[in-house]
Amino acid sequence: MSAVPRTIIDLAPSLDDRALRRLVNEAQIRTGMTPEALTRAIERAPGRATSRIARIVDGASGPRRSGLEDALWEALLRAGLAEGARCNFRIDEWEVDVAWPSARLVVEADGFRYHRTRDDRRRDERKHRALRRRGFEVLRFSDDEIADQLPRVVAEIALALGAARGRR
Q: 57 falls in which pLDDT band (50, 70, 90)?
A: low
CA 138/CA 123 separation, integer angstroms = 14
Tell me: do 29 and 91 sit in the same domain. no
Residue numbers of the domain that contains 15 = 3-58
Q: Give the predicted TM-score (pTM) of the model.
A: 0.64
Tell me: do 39 and 111 sit in the same domain. no
Tell me: do 129 and 151 sit in the same domain. yes
How confident is the model over 74-128, as pLDDT tens digits? 899 889 998 888 887 889 998 888 999 999 999 998 766 555 678 878 888 999 9
One-letter-per-residue 3-state SS of 30-62: HHCCCHHHHHHHHHCCCCCCCHHHHHHHHCCCC
Domain count within the chain? 2
